[in-house]
Protein backbone atom coordinates (compact mmCIF):
# COMPACT_ATOMS: atom_id res chain seq x y z
CA UNK A 1 0.00 0.00 0.00
CA UNK A 2 1.26 3.45 -0.90
CA UNK A 3 1.70 6.05 1.82
CA UNK A 4 -0.74 8.96 2.06
CA UNK A 5 0.86 12.01 0.48
CA UNK A 6 1.12 15.25 2.41
CA UNK A 7 2.74 18.55 1.48
CA UNK A 8 4.11 21.42 3.45
CA UNK A 9 2.39 24.81 3.60
CA UNK A 10 2.59 27.83 5.91
CA UNK A 11 -0.38 28.58 8.14
CA UNK A 12 -2.11 31.92 7.60
CA UNK A 13 -4.98 33.52 9.49
CA UNK A 14 -7.84 34.58 7.18
CA UNK A 15 -10.00 37.16 8.92
CA UNK A 16 -13.34 35.65 7.84
CA UNK A 17 -15.93 34.46 10.36
CA UNK A 18 -17.67 31.33 8.99
CA UNK A 19 -19.55 30.37 12.18
CA UNK A 20 -18.75 26.87 13.47
CA UNK A 21 -17.76 25.52 10.05
CA UNK A 22 -14.03 25.03 9.54
CA UNK A 23 -13.06 26.59 6.23
CA UNK A 24 -9.56 26.33 4.74
CA UNK A 25 -8.34 28.52 1.86
CA UNK A 26 -5.85 27.50 -0.83
CA UNK A 27 -4.74 29.61 -3.79
CA UNK A 28 -5.75 28.19 -7.20
CA UNK A 29 -2.12 28.32 -8.34
CA UNK A 30 -0.78 26.60 -5.22
CA UNK A 31 1.22 23.54 -6.33
CA UNK A 32 -0.54 21.41 -3.76
CA UNK A 33 -3.99 22.47 -4.89
CA UNK A 34 -3.07 21.47 -8.44
CA UNK A 35 -1.11 18.30 -7.76
CA UNK A 36 -3.68 16.84 -5.39
CA UNK A 37 -6.61 17.56 -7.69
CA UNK A 38 -8.61 19.29 -4.95
CA UNK A 39 -11.98 20.88 -5.77
CA UNK A 40 -13.82 23.72 -4.06
CA UNK A 41 -15.87 22.24 -1.17
CA UNK A 42 -13.57 19.20 -0.97
CA UNK A 43 -13.06 18.14 2.62
CA UNK A 44 -9.40 18.28 3.57
CA UNK A 45 -7.44 16.97 6.53
CA UNK A 46 -4.82 19.40 7.84
CA UNK A 47 -1.94 18.20 9.98
CA UNK A 48 0.35 20.34 12.15
CA UNK A 49 3.26 18.24 13.39
CA UNK A 50 2.08 15.92 16.14
CA UNK A 51 -1.29 17.66 16.80
CA UNK A 52 -4.58 15.92 16.05
CA UNK A 53 -5.51 16.59 12.42
CA UNK A 54 -8.11 19.24 11.66
CA UNK A 55 -10.91 18.68 9.12
CA UNK A 56 -12.04 21.61 6.99
CA UNK A 57 -14.04 22.48 3.89
CA UNK A 58 -11.91 23.94 1.13
CA UNK A 59 -12.57 27.29 -0.54
CA UNK A 60 -10.38 28.16 -3.53
CA UNK A 61 -8.85 31.64 -3.68
CA UNK A 62 -7.67 33.69 -6.67
CA UNK A 63 -6.27 36.60 -4.65
CA UNK A 64 -2.79 36.40 -3.12
CA UNK A 65 -3.66 39.02 -0.53
CA UNK A 66 -6.12 36.54 1.02
CA UNK A 67 -4.04 33.38 0.71
CA UNK A 68 -0.97 33.12 -1.50
CA UNK A 69 0.42 29.97 -3.16
CA UNK A 70 2.38 28.05 -0.54
CA UNK A 71 0.06 29.24 2.24
CA UNK A 72 -2.80 27.49 3.95
CA UNK A 73 -5.51 29.96 5.02
CA UNK A 74 -7.74 29.14 7.97
CA UNK A 75 -10.93 30.95 8.98
CA UNK A 76 -11.02 32.90 12.27
CA UNK A 77 -12.70 30.44 14.61
CA UNK A 78 -10.64 27.43 13.48
CA UNK A 79 -7.46 29.51 13.65
CA UNK A 80 -8.25 30.65 17.18
CA UNK A 81 -9.24 27.17 18.38
CA UNK A 82 -6.00 25.80 16.93
CA UNK A 83 -3.91 28.36 18.82
CA UNK A 84 -0.78 28.07 16.62
CA UNK A 85 1.08 31.11 15.24
CA UNK A 86 0.99 32.14 11.56
CA UNK A 87 3.77 30.52 9.58
CA UNK A 88 3.46 27.15 11.37
CA UNK A 89 4.19 24.30 8.97
CA UNK A 90 1.06 22.48 7.84
CA UNK A 91 0.39 19.57 5.55
CA UNK A 92 -2.88 18.91 3.80
CA UNK A 93 -4.47 15.83 2.22
CA UNK A 94 -7.86 14.62 1.04
CA UNK A 95 -10.01 13.76 4.05
CA UNK A 96 -11.66 10.39 4.01
CA UNK A 97 -15.42 10.71 4.33
CA UNK A 98 -16.29 9.92 7.96
CA UNK A 99 -16.91 6.17 8.25
CA UNK A 100 -20.06 6.76 10.31
CA UNK A 101 -21.83 8.33 7.30
CA UNK A 102 -22.70 4.78 6.25
CA UNK A 103 -24.80 4.54 9.41
CA UNK A 104 -26.53 7.85 8.58
CA UNK A 105 -27.45 6.43 5.18
CA UNK A 106 -28.84 3.32 6.82
CA UNK A 107 -30.91 5.59 9.07
CA UNK A 108 -32.22 7.53 6.05
CA UNK A 109 -33.20 4.17 4.56
CA UNK A 110 -35.29 3.51 7.70
CA UNK A 111 -32.97 1.07 9.47
CA UNK A 112 -32.44 0.82 13.20
CA UNK A 113 -28.98 1.84 14.44
CA UNK A 114 -27.21 0.44 17.50
CA UNK A 115 -25.04 2.00 20.21
CA UNK A 116 -21.80 1.48 18.23
CA UNK A 117 -23.33 3.41 15.31
CA UNK A 118 -24.39 6.35 17.50
CA UNK A 119 -21.02 6.32 19.24
CA UNK A 120 -19.22 6.51 15.89
CA UNK A 121 -21.52 9.26 14.63
CA UNK A 122 -21.13 11.45 17.71
CA UNK A 123 -17.35 10.94 17.75
CA UNK A 124 -17.05 12.01 14.11
CA UNK A 125 -19.28 15.05 14.74
CA UNK A 126 -17.27 16.17 17.77
CA UNK A 127 -14.08 15.87 15.70
CA UNK A 128 -15.64 18.24 13.12
CA UNK A 129 -15.66 15.49 10.46
CA UNK A 130 -19.23 16.24 9.40
CA UNK A 131 -20.04 19.01 6.95
CA UNK A 132 -23.15 21.06 7.69
CA UNK A 133 -25.18 19.25 5.02
CA UNK A 134 -24.24 15.94 6.64
CA UNK A 135 -25.37 17.19 10.06
CA UNK A 136 -28.64 18.30 8.47
CA UNK A 137 -29.08 14.86 6.92
CA UNK A 138 -28.51 13.14 10.26
CA UNK A 139 -30.95 15.41 12.11
CA UNK A 140 -33.72 15.05 9.54
CA UNK A 141 -33.21 11.27 9.34
CA UNK A 142 -33.74 11.11 13.12
CA UNK A 143 -36.72 13.44 12.78
CA UNK A 144 -40.21 12.76 13.97
CA UNK A 145 -40.97 9.01 14.25
CA UNK A 146 -37.48 8.13 13.06
CA UNK A 147 -35.96 6.84 16.33
CA UNK A 148 -37.07 3.80 18.34
CA UNK A 149 -36.70 4.14 22.10
CA UNK A 150 -33.65 1.87 22.24
CA UNK A 151 -32.05 4.17 19.71
CA UNK A 152 -32.87 7.22 21.82
CA UNK A 153 -31.15 5.45 24.72
CA UNK A 154 -28.07 4.71 22.55
CA UNK A 155 -27.94 8.27 21.26
CA UNK A 156 -28.26 9.66 24.80
CA UNK A 157 -25.37 7.51 26.05
CA UNK A 158 -23.21 8.35 23.04
CA UNK A 159 -23.87 12.08 23.40
CA UNK A 160 -23.20 12.04 27.15
CA UNK A 161 -19.89 10.26 26.47
CA UNK A 162 -18.84 12.77 23.82
CA UNK A 163 -17.19 15.25 26.21
CA UNK A 164 -16.33 15.98 29.82
CA UNK A 165 -18.39 14.54 32.67
CA UNK A 166 -18.84 16.20 36.03
CA UNK A 167 -18.78 14.25 39.28
CA UNK A 168 -19.96 16.42 42.16
CA UNK A 169 -19.34 13.84 44.90
CA UNK A 170 -22.80 14.62 46.28
CA UNK A 171 -25.52 12.04 47.03
CA UNK A 172 -28.26 14.16 45.45
CA UNK A 173 -27.68 16.43 42.48
CA UNK A 174 -31.00 17.98 41.41
CA UNK A 175 -31.84 19.54 38.07
CA UNK A 176 -34.89 20.64 36.12
CA UNK A 177 -35.63 21.05 32.45
CA UNK A 178 -38.55 22.26 30.35
CA UNK A 179 -38.96 20.87 26.84
CA UNK A 180 -39.68 24.42 25.66
CA UNK A 181 -42.21 25.87 23.27
CA UNK A 182 -43.80 28.32 25.73
CA UNK A 183 -42.56 31.91 25.44
CA UNK A 184 -41.69 33.64 28.69
CA UNK A 185 -41.45 30.41 30.65
CA UNK A 186 -38.43 31.36 32.79
CA UNK A 187 -39.12 29.16 35.81
CA UNK A 188 -35.53 27.87 36.17
CA UNK A 189 -34.37 31.29 37.28
CA UNK A 190 -36.84 31.03 40.19
CA UNK A 191 -36.60 27.32 40.91
CA UNK A 192 -32.79 27.32 41.26
CA UNK A 193 -32.63 30.08 43.92
CA UNK A 194 -35.52 28.52 45.85
CA UNK A 195 -34.07 25.00 45.82
CA UNK A 196 -30.51 26.16 46.53
CA UNK A 197 -31.75 28.34 49.40
CA UNK A 198 -33.17 25.16 50.93
CA UNK A 199 -29.64 23.74 50.71
CA UNK A 200 -30.33 21.21 47.96
CA UNK A 201 -27.57 20.91 45.36
CA UNK A 202 -28.74 22.22 41.93
CA UNK A 203 -25.96 23.10 39.47
CA UNK A 204 -28.17 24.15 36.56
CA UNK A 205 -26.57 24.13 33.14
CA UNK A 206 -28.85 25.64 30.53
CA UNK A 207 -28.88 25.82 26.76
CA UNK A 208 -29.32 28.89 24.67
CA UNK A 209 -32.55 29.17 22.66
CA UNK A 210 -32.81 26.79 19.67
CA UNK A 211 -36.00 27.94 18.01
CA UNK A 212 -37.44 30.17 20.75
CA UNK A 213 -36.98 33.90 21.46
CA UNK A 214 -35.00 33.22 24.66
CA UNK A 215 -33.44 30.33 26.57
CA UNK A 216 -32.57 30.41 30.26
CA UNK A 217 -28.91 31.04 29.36
CA UNK A 218 -29.86 33.98 27.10
CA UNK A 219 -31.99 35.53 29.87
CA UNK A 220 -29.58 34.88 32.76
CA UNK A 221 -26.92 36.59 30.63
CA UNK A 222 -28.85 39.86 31.14
CA UNK A 223 -28.06 39.60 34.86
CA UNK A 224 -24.71 37.80 35.05
CA UNK A 225 -21.98 36.02 33.11
CA UNK A 226 -23.10 32.57 31.98
CA UNK A 227 -19.99 31.37 30.15
CA UNK A 228 -17.75 30.15 32.93
CA UNK A 229 -14.59 28.02 33.01
CA UNK A 230 -15.18 24.60 34.56
CA UNK A 231 -13.02 25.29 37.65
CA UNK A 232 -14.86 28.47 38.39
CA UNK A 233 -18.24 26.78 37.98
CA UNK A 234 -17.26 24.08 40.46
CA UNK A 235 -16.24 26.60 43.13
CA UNK A 236 -19.46 28.58 42.71
CA UNK A 237 -21.73 25.57 43.04
CA UNK A 238 -19.83 24.13 46.01
CA UNK A 239 -20.25 27.44 47.81
CA UNK A 240 -23.79 28.46 46.81
CA UNK A 241 -25.40 25.02 46.11
CA UNK A 242 -26.63 26.36 42.76
CA UNK A 243 -25.74 28.18 39.56
CA UNK A 244 -27.33 29.24 36.27
CA UNK A 245 -24.62 28.74 33.63
CA UNK A 246 -24.47 27.77 29.98
CA UNK A 247 -23.43 24.14 29.39
CA UNK A 248 -21.83 24.93 26.03
CA UNK A 249 -18.53 26.26 27.28
CA UNK A 250 -18.33 23.67 30.02
CA UNK A 251 -17.52 21.00 27.38
CA UNK A 252 -20.46 18.88 28.50
CA UNK A 253 -21.93 16.72 25.69
CA UNK A 254 -20.28 19.04 23.14
CA UNK A 255 -21.89 17.18 20.24
CA UNK A 256 -25.18 18.74 21.30
CA UNK A 257 -23.89 22.25 20.67
CA UNK A 258 -22.67 21.33 17.19
CA UNK A 259 -26.03 19.76 16.35
CA UNK A 260 -27.78 22.88 17.63
CA UNK A 261 -25.77 25.05 15.20
CA UNK A 262 -27.68 23.29 12.41
CA UNK A 263 -30.95 22.59 14.27
CA UNK A 264 -31.33 26.29 14.89
CA UNK A 265 -31.26 27.63 11.31
CA UNK A 266 -33.24 24.56 10.18
CA UNK A 267 -35.78 24.78 13.04
CA UNK A 268 -35.81 21.01 13.49
CA UNK A 269 -36.33 19.60 16.99
CA UNK A 270 -37.68 16.00 16.99
CA UNK A 271 -38.84 14.01 20.09
CA UNK A 272 -35.95 11.54 19.99
CA UNK A 273 -33.35 14.28 19.56
CA UNK A 274 -35.12 16.30 22.25
CA UNK A 275 -34.97 13.57 24.89
CA UNK A 276 -31.40 12.54 23.99
CA UNK A 277 -30.20 16.13 23.94
CA UNK A 278 -31.72 16.96 27.34
CA UNK A 279 -30.73 13.77 29.14
CA UNK A 280 -27.20 13.67 27.70
CA UNK A 281 -26.50 17.19 28.99
CA UNK A 282 -27.95 16.32 32.40
CA UNK A 283 -25.97 13.08 32.65
CA UNK A 284 -22.73 14.82 31.67
CA UNK A 285 -23.53 17.54 34.22
CA UNK A 286 -23.65 14.86 36.92
CA UNK A 287 -27.36 15.12 37.79
CA UNK A 288 -28.94 12.30 39.83
CA UNK A 289 -32.52 13.65 40.10
CA UNK A 290 -34.35 15.49 37.31
CA UNK A 291 -37.73 17.19 37.02
CA UNK A 292 -38.96 17.50 33.42
CA UNK A 293 -41.66 20.07 32.60
CA UNK A 294 -43.85 19.21 29.59
CA UNK A 295 -46.24 22.10 28.82
CA UNK A 296 -49.35 20.99 26.93
CA UNK A 297 -51.71 23.15 24.87
CA UNK A 298 -53.10 23.75 21.38
CA UNK A 299 -50.04 25.80 20.31
CA UNK A 300 -47.46 24.12 22.57
CA UNK A 301 -44.94 21.51 21.40
CA UNK A 302 -47.16 18.84 22.96
CA UNK A 303 -50.79 19.23 21.89
CA UNK A 304 -52.69 16.53 23.75
CA UNK A 305 -52.57 14.05 26.61
CA UNK A 306 -51.63 11.11 24.39
CA UNK A 307 -48.55 12.90 23.08
CA UNK A 308 -47.60 14.06 26.57
CA UNK A 309 -47.86 10.50 27.82
CA UNK A 310 -45.69 9.14 25.01
CA UNK A 311 -43.01 11.71 25.71
CA UNK A 312 -43.18 11.07 29.47
CA UNK A 313 -42.68 7.33 28.89
CA UNK A 314 -39.70 8.05 26.61
CA UNK A 315 -38.07 10.22 29.30
CA UNK A 316 -38.75 7.56 31.94
CA UNK A 317 -37.50 4.70 29.73
CA UNK A 318 -34.17 6.39 29.01
CA UNK A 319 -33.84 7.92 32.50
CA UNK A 320 -34.27 4.53 34.24
CA UNK A 321 -31.58 2.96 32.06
CA UNK A 322 -28.98 5.69 32.52
CA UNK A 323 -29.54 5.94 36.28
CA UNK A 324 -31.33 9.27 36.44
CA UNK A 325 -34.31 9.55 38.78
CA UNK A 326 -36.87 11.37 36.66
CA UNK A 327 -40.17 13.07 37.58
CA UNK A 328 -42.27 14.40 34.71
CA UNK A 329 -44.87 17.17 35.20
CA UNK A 330 -47.35 17.93 32.43
CA UNK A 331 -48.19 21.63 32.83
CA UNK A 332 -50.57 24.22 31.35
CA UNK A 333 -49.12 25.40 28.03
CA UNK A 334 -52.13 27.11 26.45
CA UNK A 335 -50.52 30.59 26.43
CA UNK A 336 -47.17 32.29 27.22
CA UNK A 337 -46.09 32.30 30.89
CA UNK A 338 -45.46 35.69 32.51
CA UNK A 339 -45.58 38.92 30.49
CA UNK A 340 -42.21 39.43 28.82
CA UNK A 341 -40.92 37.49 25.81
CA UNK A 342 -37.23 38.11 25.07
CA UNK A 343 -34.19 38.15 27.41
CA UNK A 344 -34.48 41.62 29.02
CA UNK A 345 -38.26 41.44 29.43
CA UNK A 346 -38.15 37.94 30.89
CA UNK A 347 -35.39 38.91 33.31
CA UNK A 348 -37.65 41.75 34.52
CA UNK A 349 -40.49 39.28 35.21
CA UNK A 350 -38.18 36.98 37.15
CA UNK A 351 -36.87 39.80 39.32
CA UNK A 352 -40.43 40.99 40.08
CA UNK A 353 -41.37 37.53 41.38
CA UNK A 354 -38.21 37.28 43.47
CA UNK A 355 -38.92 40.75 44.91
CA UNK A 356 -42.54 39.77 45.69
CA UNK A 357 -43.43 42.89 43.65
CA UNK A 358 -47.20 43.74 43.65
CA UNK A 359 -47.22 43.75 39.79
CA UNK A 360 -45.42 40.40 39.50
CA UNK A 361 -46.84 37.96 36.89
CA UNK A 362 -48.89 35.57 39.05
CA UNK A 363 -48.81 32.65 36.60
CA UNK A 364 -45.00 32.62 36.50
CA UNK A 365 -44.83 32.70 40.31
CA UNK A 366 -47.38 29.92 40.70
CA UNK A 367 -45.74 27.61 38.19
CA UNK A 368 -42.26 28.15 39.66
CA UNK A 369 -43.55 27.27 43.14
CA UNK A 370 -45.15 24.05 41.90
CA UNK A 371 -41.98 22.94 40.12
CA UNK A 372 -39.71 23.93 43.01
CA UNK A 373 -42.04 22.08 45.39
CA UNK A 374 -41.72 18.84 43.44
CA UNK A 375 -37.92 19.13 43.40
CA UNK A 376 -37.77 19.85 47.15
CA UNK A 377 -39.64 16.56 47.64
CA UNK A 378 -36.60 14.72 46.17
CA UNK A 379 -35.15 15.49 49.63
CA UNK A 380 -35.87 12.47 51.86
CA UNK A 381 -36.41 14.84 54.78
CA UNK A 382 -39.25 16.72 53.07
CA UNK A 383 -42.65 15.11 53.65
CA UNK A 384 -44.64 14.18 50.49
CA UNK A 385 -47.01 17.08 49.65
CA UNK A 386 -45.10 19.67 51.70
CA UNK A 387 -42.77 20.88 48.93
CA UNK A 388 -45.08 23.62 47.63
CA UNK A 389 -45.57 25.40 50.95
CA UNK A 390 -41.84 25.07 51.73
CA UNK A 391 -41.02 26.70 48.37
CA UNK A 392 -43.53 29.51 49.05
CA UNK A 393 -41.96 30.22 52.44
CA UNK A 394 -38.52 30.47 50.86
CA UNK A 395 -39.78 32.86 48.18
CA UNK A 396 -41.90 35.09 50.47
CA UNK A 397 -39.21 35.37 53.13
CA UNK A 398 -36.78 36.88 50.58
CA UNK A 399 -34.34 33.97 50.94
CA UNK A 400 -34.75 33.13 47.22
CA UNK A 401 -33.90 36.75 46.31
CA UNK A 402 -30.81 36.65 48.50
CA UNK A 403 -29.70 33.42 46.85
CA UNK A 404 -30.15 34.94 43.38
CA UNK A 405 -28.01 37.92 44.43
CA UNK A 406 -25.30 35.58 45.65
CA UNK A 407 -25.34 33.51 42.44
CA UNK A 408 -25.22 36.63 40.24
CA UNK A 409 -22.32 37.99 42.20
CA UNK A 410 -20.45 34.70 42.05
CA UNK A 411 -20.94 34.18 38.29
CA UNK A 412 -20.04 37.80 37.60
CA UNK A 413 -22.84 40.30 37.83
CA UNK A 414 -23.36 42.42 34.70
CA UNK A 415 -22.32 46.04 35.24
CA UNK A 416 -25.43 47.44 33.61
CA UNK A 417 -28.30 45.38 32.31
CA UNK A 418 -28.95 45.99 28.59
CA UNK A 419 -31.81 48.41 27.82
CA UNK A 420 -35.11 47.57 26.14
CA UNK A 421 -35.08 47.93 22.34
CA UNK A 422 -35.22 51.61 21.29
CA UNK A 423 -38.03 50.98 18.78
CA UNK A 424 -41.50 50.28 20.21
CA UNK A 425 -44.99 49.74 18.83
CA UNK A 426 -48.21 48.81 20.61
CA UNK A 427 -50.54 46.28 19.02
CA UNK A 428 -54.15 47.12 19.88
CA UNK A 429 -57.46 45.24 20.11
CA UNK A 430 -59.64 46.07 17.07
CA UNK A 431 -62.82 45.56 19.14
CA UNK A 432 -64.16 44.73 22.62
CA UNK A 433 -63.92 41.14 23.84
CA UNK A 434 -62.42 38.63 26.23
CA UNK A 435 -59.09 37.10 25.26
CA UNK A 436 -59.85 33.43 24.66
CA UNK A 437 -56.51 32.33 23.22
CA UNK A 438 -52.93 33.52 22.73
CA UNK A 439 -50.90 31.66 20.11
CA UNK A 440 -47.50 30.63 21.55
CA UNK A 441 -46.02 30.08 18.10
CA UNK A 442 -47.08 33.45 16.72
CA UNK A 443 -45.89 35.35 19.81
CA UNK A 444 -42.54 33.54 19.64
CA UNK A 445 -42.30 34.31 15.93
CA UNK A 446 -42.96 38.03 16.45
CA UNK A 447 -40.39 38.21 19.26
CA UNK A 448 -37.79 36.42 17.15
CA UNK A 449 -38.44 38.66 14.17
CA UNK A 450 -37.98 41.62 16.52
CA UNK A 451 -34.45 40.32 17.16
CA UNK A 452 -34.65 38.11 20.26
CA UNK A 453 -32.58 36.37 21.55
CA UNK A 454 -29.55 37.90 19.73
CA UNK A 455 -30.67 41.41 20.66
CA UNK A 456 -31.26 41.16 24.39
CA UNK A 457 -33.68 44.11 24.56
CA UNK A 458 -35.88 42.92 21.69
CA UNK A 459 -39.15 41.08 22.20
CA UNK A 460 -42.80 41.32 23.14
CA UNK A 461 -44.40 42.57 26.37
CA UNK A 462 -47.92 41.19 26.95
CA UNK A 463 -50.36 43.60 28.63
CA UNK A 464 -53.43 41.33 28.63
CA UNK A 465 -53.63 37.56 29.12
CA UNK A 466 -56.21 34.83 28.46
CA UNK A 467 -59.50 35.32 30.35
CA UNK A 468 -59.04 39.09 30.71
CA UNK A 469 -61.15 41.71 28.94
CA UNK A 470 -59.80 43.98 26.19
CA UNK A 471 -61.54 47.19 25.15
CA UNK A 472 -61.41 48.28 21.51
CA UNK A 473 -58.16 50.27 21.02
CA UNK A 474 -56.56 48.94 24.21
CA UNK A 475 -52.98 47.70 23.85
CA UNK A 476 -52.72 43.88 23.77
CA UNK A 477 -48.94 43.96 23.76
CA UNK A 478 -45.88 46.04 22.81
CA UNK A 479 -43.15 45.06 20.37
CA UNK A 480 -39.57 46.18 21.14
CA UNK A 481 -36.70 46.07 18.66
CA UNK A 482 -33.24 47.55 18.26
CA UNK A 483 -32.88 47.52 14.48
CA UNK A 484 -35.10 48.98 11.77
CA UNK A 485 -35.34 45.90 9.55
CA UNK A 486 -36.19 43.60 12.47
CA UNK A 487 -38.78 46.06 13.76
CA UNK A 488 -40.44 46.25 10.35
CA UNK A 489 -40.61 42.45 10.02
CA UNK A 490 -42.04 42.00 13.52
CA UNK A 491 -44.70 44.72 13.09
CA UNK A 492 -45.66 43.29 9.70
CA UNK A 493 -46.09 39.82 11.22
CA UNK A 494 -48.26 41.23 14.05
CA UNK A 495 -50.36 43.19 11.53
CA UNK A 496 -51.04 39.99 9.60
CA UNK A 497 -51.83 37.93 12.72
CA UNK A 498 -51.84 39.42 16.24
CA UNK A 499 -51.75 35.96 17.81
CA UNK A 500 -54.74 36.92 20.00
CA UNK A 501 -58.26 35.50 19.66
CA UNK A 502 -61.06 37.63 21.16
CA UNK A 503 -64.56 36.36 22.07
CA UNK A 504 -67.57 37.76 20.17
State which residue, 181 or 193, has the beta carbon closest to a copy of itself: 181
Which residue from 469, 470, 450, 468 is spatially nearest to 460, judged by alpha carbons? 450
Q: Check residue 61 for interaction with a copy of itself (CB under 8 A).
A: yes
The helix (run of H) or strand (run of E) holding residue 79 is helix 76-82
Return the DSSP state at 330. E
Name 113's Cβ contacts closer than 8 Å, sequence gap at least 6: 103, 106, 107, 121, 151, 154
| Residue 70-89 contact track with a copy of itself, rule CB under 8 A, x = bound | ------x-------------
Q: Where does this chain touch a copy of itself (CB under 8 A) — which range of 119-127, 130-138, 199-207, 389-397?
A: 130-138
One residue of 89, 114, 320, 492 binding a copy of itself per CB under 8 A: 492
Q: Check residue 257 for interaction with a copy of itself (CB under 8 A).
A: no
User: Which entry of 161, 175, 269, 439 is annotated as an active-site residue?
Assistant: 269
Q: Where does this chain touch a copy of itself (CB under 8 A) — which range of 58-66, 176-184, 192-200, 238-246?
A: 58-66
One residue of 344, 470, 482, 500 binding a copy of itself per CB under 8 A: 482
Q: Where does this chain touch a copy of itself (CB under 8 A) — which range of 82-90, 159-167, 242-250, 484-492?
A: 484-492
Asked if 170 contacts 128 with a C-beta cutoff of 8 angstroms, the reply is no
Q: How far is the CB of 282 from a copy of itself (least distance, A)?
A: 26
Q: Where does this chain touch a copy of itself (CB under 8 A) — which range of 243-251, 263-271, 294-302, 427-435?
A: 263-271
Which residue from 203, 222, 251, 198 is spatially nearest to 349, judged by alpha carbons? 222
Q: Where does this chain touch a copy of itself (CB under 8 A) — which range of 274-282, 327-335, 434-442, 476-484?
A: 476-484
One residue of 47, 66, 251, 393 binding a copy of itself per CB under 8 A: 66
State which residue, 80 or 397, has the beta carbon closest to a copy of itself: 80
The C-alpha torsion from 217 through 221 and 222 to 224, rounded to 10°, is 130
Q: Check residue 443 for interaction with a copy of itself (CB under 8 A).
A: no
One residue of 98, 451, 453, 457 binding a copy of itself per CB under 8 A: 451
- Among positions 416-435, residues that touch a copy of itself (CB under 8 A) are none
Q: Check residue 306 for interaction with a copy of itself (CB under 8 A).
A: no
Q: Check residue 137 for interaction with a copy of itself (CB under 8 A).
A: yes
One residue of 117, 119, 124, 134 binding a copy of itself per CB under 8 A: 134
Does 332 qualify as catalytic in the annotation? Answer: no
Spatial distance between the Cα atoms of 460 and 494, rounded to a whole number of angstroms: 11
Q: Where does this chain touch a copy of itself (CB under 8 A) — which range of 226-234, 398-406, 467-475, 490-498?
A: 490-498
Return the DSSP state at 173. B
One residue of 487, 499, 500, 502 binding a copy of itself per CB under 8 A: 487
One residue of 218, 363, 461, 486 binding a copy of itself per CB under 8 A: 486
The CA distances from residue 425 to 71, 490, 493, in Å, are 52, 10, 13
The CA distances from residue 206 to 216, 264, 281, 367, 462, in Å, are 6, 16, 9, 19, 25
Q: How many CB atoms lie within 10 A of CB 471?
A: 11
The CA distances from residue 384 to 169, 174, 291, 326, 381, in Å, are 26, 17, 15, 16, 9
Q: Check residue 110 for interaction with a copy of itself (CB under 8 A).
A: yes
Q: Check residue 133 for interaction with a copy of itself (CB under 8 A).
A: yes
State which residue, 23 or 158, has the beta carbon closest to a copy of itself: 23
Given the DSSP bridges, would you call strands 71-75 and 7-14 parallel, antiparallel or unpaired? parallel
* Exposed / middle / buried, residue 106 (Cβ in 10 Å: 0-12, 13-18, 19+): middle
Q: How far is the CB of 144 from a copy of itself (least distance, A)?
A: 5
Q: Check residue 99 for interaction with a copy of itself (CB under 8 A).
A: no
Q: Check residue 121 for interaction with a copy of itself (CB under 8 A).
A: no
The helix (run of H) or strand (run of E) holding residue 299 is none
Q: How many CB atoms lie within 10 A of CB 82?
A: 18
Spatial distance between the Cα atoms of 222 and 80, rounded to a whole number of angstroms: 27
Q: Check residue 29 for interaction with a copy of itself (CB under 8 A).
A: no
One residue of 454, 463, 466, 478 binding a copy of itself per CB under 8 A: 454
Number of residues forming the site for a copy of itself (CB under 8 A): 67
Q: What is the DSSP string of 196-226?
A: HHHT-BEEEEEPPPSSSS--HHHHHHHHB--
Q: Check residue 35 for interaction with a copy of itself (CB under 8 A).
A: yes
The three-class DSSP label of residue 435 is: strand
Alpha helices in 161-303 (DSSP H): 188-198, 216-223, 230-240, 254-266, 271-284
Q: How far is the CB of 492 from a copy of itself (least distance, A)?
A: 5
Sign of CA dihedral 266, 338, 340, 368: negative
- Give the interface with a copy of itself as residue ranges (CB under 8 A): 1-5, 14-19, 25, 28, 35-37, 39-41, 59-63, 65-66, 76, 93-94, 96, 101, 105, 108-110, 131-137, 139-141, 143-145, 262, 265-268, 451, 454-455, 482-489, 491-492, 495
Q: Which residues are catalytic?
A: 269
Amino acid sequence: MTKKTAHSLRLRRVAIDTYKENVAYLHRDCHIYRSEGFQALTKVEITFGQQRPLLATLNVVDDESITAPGQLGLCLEAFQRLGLPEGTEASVAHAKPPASLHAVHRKIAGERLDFADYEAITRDIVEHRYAKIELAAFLVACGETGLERDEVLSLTRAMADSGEKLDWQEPLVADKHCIGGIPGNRTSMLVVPIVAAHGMFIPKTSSRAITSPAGTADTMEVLAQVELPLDNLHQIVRKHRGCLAWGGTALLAPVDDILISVERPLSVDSPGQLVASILAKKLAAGATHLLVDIPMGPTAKVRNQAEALRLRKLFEFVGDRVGLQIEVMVTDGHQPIGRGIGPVLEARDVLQVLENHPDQPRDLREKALQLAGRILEFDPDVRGGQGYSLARDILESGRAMEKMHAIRKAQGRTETTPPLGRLCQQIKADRDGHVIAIDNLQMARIARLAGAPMDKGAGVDLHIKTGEHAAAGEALYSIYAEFDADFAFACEAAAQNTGFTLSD
